[in-house]
Structure formats: structure tokens, C-alpha cells
Amino acid sequence: MKNIFYFIGSLCIAIAAAFLIQRWLSDYEDPGYVLIGFGHWSLETSVLVFAVGQVIVFFVMYLFFRLIGVLLRLPSKMQSKGKNIKFNRSQEALIAGLIDSAEGNWEKAEKILIKHASNSGAPLLHYLTAAKAAQSRGAIEKRDEYLRAATEKAGDSDLAVGLTQAELHLSSNQFDQALDKLIRLQSIDSSHASVLKMLHQVYERVGDWEALHKLIPSLRQNKILMEAEVKLLEAETLCHLLREAAETGNAEEIDAMWQSIPEHVQAMQGMANIYFAAMIEAGKGVKVEDAIVKAILNSWDETLLVLYGNIKTKDHKNQLQTAEQWLSVHSGSAVLLRVLGKISIKCYQLEKAEQYLTKSVANNPTVAAYQMLGDVLIKKGDKDKASESYRKGLELASSEVVKQVEGISG
């Protein structure tokens, strides 16, 4: 529209200029003429007519060349318009695909996204969203196909594609594939929050506690978890590593693992019990005997009492004397009485063992106490009382089994 106004304005100015020239020339008796010769031909006209003719020729030639320019640009404009139409459709398809995915129309979303992906300004989003939709409907092969296409279109977006791939593998419990992808992404950006968070999830799911323990400094440094969560994760990880060391049965490995644990984690409830139990199981209970006694004195713990009673030592009499000192404060503890009975058996003091075990079952009957009491009575030759003790132990064990079954069925 502006070009039309410019054209008409220029034409009016030219006509006005010609009119003014004509007025100026009319003041003279001879306004002048123009003679044009070409071969045997000649053309003679007034200056005014020649000037008007020149203006008309100029504007005719201008219109002609403008028309030629429009015709030459027409194919590219048509092509560009077609691309814009396809682009707009692809954008609409992306929005529709995202809505369908959110509503759970996975197959519909997948089809519309892939159909318009090639014409989109963001084909990566089409393929990644389609991959998620394919996985949601269980089409794993299609998912992998779309992920490969996304990788080809990734450009500088390798991280985004890799994170989506890892997320989909993780949600499908394909932990090895997810881990391979995440380790590669970590080499690209070692502080990326999503990468570290998913690595934490994968290591925890597969039970790779050593790798998770090595990851904790990065989780803390990059503030992926709150400090309280980091400390809890550290304790959980070290607990699992200590259990793994305990399963080897190697006392040196168990002790080395324990020494590597920070003191604030060692002091957490239950941690020391795992270490003591592992050392006793490995036949090195004597090494931790003093530590167990110290722990009992600091904080009364019946689990530690049981561990203390299982220590294999050459000096059971000293062990019995130490445990008997606790009776003055905890005389009503059925666990302490049972442990004292067990140590008394090791010291071959059957009378004392019978007394302790009898008091233990009187305070709180347990299958283990009845079993040990029966063994003591057998050694003393009192078979009737021994049978009665075994019978009570079996009845207690049966009732405990019944309770467990009822709890499961309930």
C-alpha cells in the first residue's frame, strides 16, 4: 500500500513539474523544440511534450521492471509461505501432542508428533515427547527408534537427549542402560543436578553402595540434597558397606571398613552393633570385647548383651564376673539373666546356669532360654524337667509362628 502512495505521489510531482516548465517556456515567443533523428527518420516535438513523454516512459518502465521483480520472487515467496504453513501446523501438532500425552492418549500423541516432526522448528521436542508416549504404551522398539532420531537431531542438545534416555531406561528398570548413559553425561557435565540425582537413584536401586558412597561428595557440593538428607544417605551407605564387609567373614576387611567410617556415623544407633556382630562372627570377638563392655556401660543395650554372650574367649570366668556386676542395676532383665546362664554353661557352672535361666524364663520366657535350660538339666541328669523345658520352648515357638502367620494373613 505504501508503494502505491509513493508511486502516485511521484507521478503527481512529475506532472506538476512539467506544468511549471510549460508555464515558464510560454513566456517566450519560441518555447523551443526537440529533434530526434534515426536513419531516414526524424521526430520533432516541443520541449513540453518531450518532457511529459519522458515522465510517462519512466513510469511505464518502472512499472514493467517492478512487475518483472514480483514475478521472479513469486516462486520463493510461495515456497516460504508453504514452509510457514507447515511450521505453524507443526507447532500446533506439538501443543496437541503434549496435551494428548498429559491426558494419557499415548498412541494419538505419538502419531501427531512424528507426522509433523520434520517440519518443526523444534524436532527434538517432537521425538523426545513421542519416545515418552511410546514407552507409556509399552512400545519399547518405537521408543528406541524415536530416541535415535532425537540423537540425530540433537545438535548441541546431547545433554537433554541423554537425560531423557536415562529417565526412560530408569522408569523401565533398565538400570544398566541408564547407568551407562548417566556416566557418559557425567563426563560431559560433572555437576549437572539431574544427572547426579538420577545417578543417586540408580546406584540405590541396584545396591551399588560403593559407587553411591563415592557420589556423596558431589551431592553435597552441588546441593542436590539437603545436608540432613546427605548425612542420612551417608549413614545408610556406610551401613550397607559394613554389612557387605561382614558377609566376607574377613576380620581384617571388616575392621578396615569400620576404621574408615567417620566417628559421627560410628556413634549412630545400631552401627557399632553391626561391627561387633561381624567381628564375633569372624571369630575375632575378643578384639571388640572391651569396646562392647564400654558401650554397655555408656548406654544399656540388650542387643549388645546378646553379642557379649556370644564372644568366644578363653577367659569365660572373667567374662561372667563382668556381666554379674550389671545385676545390681538390671536384676530384672530377662536378657541379662539369659546371657549369664549362657556364660555360666561355658564356665561349667551348671547350678548357677540353671538359676539364671530359671529366673530369665520367669521374667520373660523365650525359646532360646527354654532350650538352654533344657540342655543344662540334661547335663545334670534331670530328664523330666529337661523334657518339660523343651516342651514349653516348643509351645512358645509354635505360638510365635502362629502369630506371624496371622499377622501376614491379616
Q: How many other CB atoms are found less than 10 A from the CB of residue 259?
A: 9
pLDDT in tens, 185-218: 888 888 888 889 999 999 999 999 999 999 999 9
Residue 41 lies in a domain: yes
| pLDDT-based confidence at residue 84 (cuts at 50, 70, 90) | low
Residue 136 lies in a domain: no
Say which residues have a Cβ less than 8 Å from residue 142's Cβ, sequence separation at least 6: 110, 134
- Number of domains the chain is built from: 2
CATH number assigned to the domain comprising residue 366: 1.25.40.10
Q: Taking all residues of the chain, what is their mean pLDDT, rounded to a whole number? A: 80
* DSSP symbols for 165-210: HHHHHHHTT-HHHHHHHHHHHHHH-TT-HHHHHHHHHHHHHHT-HH
Confirm whether 218 is domain-assigned.
no
* Residue 338, domain extent: 314-410
Last residue of a domain, one of 62, 82, 102: 82
Please say which residue of 67, 82, 97 terminates a domain. 82
Alpha helical stretches, state H, 26-46: none
Confidence of residue 397 (pLDDT cuts 50, 70, 90): confident
Task: Tell me the CA distances in angstroms from 394 to 114, 325, 358, 387, 391, one per residue in order.
Answer: 69, 32, 17, 10, 5
pTM of structure: 0.65
**What cell does 163 get?**
537425560
Q: Among residues 203, 129, 136, which one has the least CA distance to residue 164?
A: 129
Whether 376 is covered by a domain: the verdict is yes
Say yes or no to pLDDT of 106 above 90: no
Domain-located, residue 124: no
Q: Would you say residue 225 lies in a domain?
A: no
Of 138-147, 364-373, 386-395, the one with minimum mean pLDDT is: 138-147
Q: Cell numbers 530416541 correspond to what residue? A: 147
Residue 255 lies in a domain: no
Whether 318 maps to a domain, the answer reads yes
Task: Show which of 34, 53, 82 is a domain's final residue.
Answer: 82
Per-residue pLDDT tens digits for 252-298: 999 999 999 999 889 888 899 999 999 999 999 999 999 999 999 99
